[in-house]
Chain A
Amino acid sequence: MSTPPTSDIDLFADEVLLDPYPVYAELREQGPVVHLRKNDVHALTRYDVIRGALADWESFSSTSIAFNPMANEALTGTSLASDPPVHTQLRATLTENLSPRALRGLKGKIETKADALVAELVEKGSFEAIDALARAFPLEVVADLIGFTGHVRDNMLRWGQAAMQVLGPMNQRTAENFPVAGELYAWCSQVEAADLAEGSVGRGIFEAEARGAIPPNTAGHIIHQYLGAGVDTTMAALGNLVALLGSHPEQLDLIRKDPSLVSSAFNEVLRFWPPINAWGRRATKDVEIDGVVIPEGAQVAILLGAGNRDPRHYENPDAFLVERNPIDHLSFGYGPHGCAGQGLARLEAHAVIDALARRVKRLAVGPEVRVPSNITRSIEELPVLEVIPA
């Protein structure tokens, strides 16, 4: 047994956040575990090791999913940052209204909304895809689902972005976003049933709290997690799918010819460009992986995108191929903490891909604009210069 190889790569440097894939390839070749001195984290770089760690909550605790102690402290008591057995109950409460089981009735509504939005954009002929589609659609779906109205609806975008930014190391981006994430936290700690639209899932969570189905004072926490974890990531995934289908017209053609590829295509979008770059864990003991040791107490960084491009697991991993159907991609995580909102994300993304494949022959996209962000990797602006309708 020995210590892992080391590297001076800074995971949170602007250029790495904007395009992490060359760095991921370098780290992956160094070994499945690499100690990054600048970040003082042990990075997991290969598919098998990442999936193994996500399943192994006894060795890799979620009490340190963020890369700074303040954010981890603030998340204490949420399902996101807990380990079993406490996690099991919190997770059940969180997913009660969010699991595919709970969302079955929403499918038709979401498909109708996606189709109307895509039809409107096709009609326009050119548009900016991030604001008009990637942000607008999940904001509307989530706002309606949880029952947000008024100023909360207007704040969802910046609150959701800030909630992810503050999970980074204590750099300038994190510091600037703490006050904004704090607004979300403050609102969620005083929100009441009457603030949410009648008949909404949000109202349902308060009703569950009132009848004792979930522990007292948990409704606000749950709403905080819906907003914090579910908004920024879904927007990233939808922006990515428009960009990738626009820049790979032959792949869009494949879906147009065979609509049964919609789900496979979304899996490939997520594999190719995961919305989340790095996610934290803490080693609860000395953990041996392929002959090297991660010391007890070490902060671990799970590099989802590095695992998704591991040639040991996926053939030709740097190609975007909608027929690949990489159903076991790592972008939703895996195991007890596997993304709780993945059912909703699938409903939204499948509806958008399906509408695009039916209504669009080709999307001519201009260069995408990106800004560095600590945790979420997403497109800031994506001009669709011309839509060729189907």
Chain B
Amino acid sequence: MKIVLDRARCEGHGLCEEAAPRLMHLDDDGELVLDREEVDEADAALANAAVRVCPVAALRVA
């Protein structure tokens, strides 16, 4: 499973980081960094939670 970020849509609300701090974080400039793009079974629920809370639908899993 892969997390896909639509960077043009991302506005840095940071709710995904709250949901899945292991997988992504906002850097010092407020830009989202995907620390892990390839997600294994164990983190699938976290990845889905991050996708679900993005208020502007900038994340999806493929």
Residues of A in contact with B (beta carbons under 8 Å apart): 55, 88, 92, 95, 99-101, 104, 327-328, 332, 334-336, 338-340, 342-343
Asked if B31 contacts A101 (CB within 8 A), the reply is: yes
Given A99-B12, A100-B11, A327-B15, decide whether A338 and B55 contact each other with a Cβ distance below 8 A.
yes
**A336–B57 Cα gap in the complex (Å)?**
7
Among A95, A328, A340, point to the contact of B52 (Cβ < 8 A).
Answer: A328
Q: Smallest distance from the beta carbon of A62 to chain B beta carbons, Å?
A: 14
Q: Smallest distance from the beta carbon of A45 to chain B beta carbons, Å?
A: 21
Q: Which 4 pairs of residues, A with B, have the shortest CB-CB distance?
A: A101-B30, A101-B12, A99-B11, A335-B57
**A334–B8 Cα gap in the complex (Å)?**
16
Query: B53 at interface (Cβ–Cβ under 8 A)?
Result: yes
Q: Smallest distance from the beta carbon of A87 to chain B beta carbons, Å?
A: 11
Nearest B-chain residue to A57, judged by Cβ: B57
Given A99-B12, A327-B15, decide whether A336 and B56 contact each other with a Cβ distance below 8 A.
yes
Nearest B-chain residue to A332, judged by Cβ: B55
Query: Apart from A101-B12, A339-B55, A343-B11, what 5 extra A-B contacts exist at CB < 8 Å?
Result: A88-B8, A100-B12, A104-B30, A327-B19, A342-B55
Given A100-B12, A100-B14, decide whether A328 and B57 contact each other with a Cβ distance below 8 A.
no
Q: Smallest distance from the beta carbon of B54 to chain A beta carbons, Å?
A: 9
15 A-B pairs whose Cβ atoms sit less than 8 Å apart in the complex: A95-B11, A99-B12, A100-B14, A101-B11, A101-B30, A101-B31, A104-B30, A328-B52, A328-B53, A334-B55, A334-B57, A338-B55, A338-B57, A343-B11, A343-B12
Q: Smallest distance from the beta carbon of B34 to chain A beta carbons, Å?
A: 16
Nearest B-chain residue to A104, judged by Cβ: B30
Across chains A and B, the number of contacting residue pairs, with CB separation under 8 Å, is 44
Nearest B-chain residue to A263, judged by Cβ: B18
Q: Smallest distance from the beta carbon of B9 to chain A beta carbons, Å?
A: 7
Among B9, B15, B29, point to the contact of A336 (Cβ < 8 A).
Answer: B9
Nearest B-chain residue to A99, judged by Cβ: B11
Main secondary structure of the interface of B (DSSP, over half): loop
Asked if A327 contacts B56 (CB within 8 A), the reply is: no
Q: Smallest distance from the beta carbon of A325 to chain B beta carbons, Å?
A: 10
Q: What residues of chain A lie closer than 8 Å to B30, measured between beta carbons?
A: 99-101, 104
**A332–B53 Cα gap in the complex (Å)?**
12
Main secondary structure of the interface of A (DSSP, over half): helix
Please report which residues of chain B, range 1-23, place their CB below 8 angstroms from some CB of chain A when the two chains form the complex: 8-9, 11-15, 18-19
Q: What residues of chain A lie closer than 8 Å to B55, measured between beta carbons?
A: 332, 334, 338-339, 342
Q: Smallest distance from the beta carbon of A195 to chain B beta carbons, Å?
A: 27
**A299–B46 Cα gap in the complex (Å)?**
37
Q: Smallest distance from the beta carbon of A60 to chain B beta carbons, Å?
A: 14
**A100–B56 Cα gap in the complex (Å)?**
13
Asked if B13 contacts A55 (CB within 8 A), the reply is: no
Q: What residues of chain A lie closer than 8 Å to B56, measured between beta carbons?
A: 334-336, 338
**A339–B52 Cα gap in the complex (Å)?**
16
Q: Smallest distance from the beta carbon of A313 to chain B beta carbons, Å?
A: 12
Contact with A along B43-56 (1 / 0, CB 8 A): 00000000011011
Q: What residues of chain B lie closer than 8 Å to A92, measured between beta carbons?
A: 8
Nearest B-chain residue to A98, judged by Cβ: B11
Q: What residues of chain A lie closer than 8 Å to B31, measured between beta carbons?
A: 101
Nearest B-chain residue to A346, judged by Cβ: B13
Nearest B-chain residue to A95, judged by Cβ: B11
Among B9, B13, B53, point to the contact of A100 (Cβ < 8 A).
Answer: B13
**A328–B52 Cα gap in the complex (Å)?**
7
Q: What residues of chain B lie closer than 8 Å to A104, measured between beta carbons?
A: 30
**A328–B55 Cα gap in the complex (Å)?**
8
Q: What residues of chain B lie closer than 8 Å to A340, measured between beta carbons?
A: 11
Q: Smallest distance from the beta carbon of B53 to chain A beta carbons, Å?
A: 5
Asked if A343 contacts B53 (CB within 8 A), the reply is: no
Q: What residues of chain B lie closer than 8 Å to A336, measured between beta carbons?
A: 9, 56-57
Asked if B13 contacts A342 (CB within 8 A), the reply is: yes
**A25–B4 Cα gap in the complex (Å)?**
37
Nearest A-chain residue to B30, judged by Cβ: A101
Q: Smallest distance from the beta carbon of B6 to chain A beta carbons, Å?
A: 10
| Most chain A beta-carbon contacts within 10 A, residue among B14, B15, B52, B56 | B56
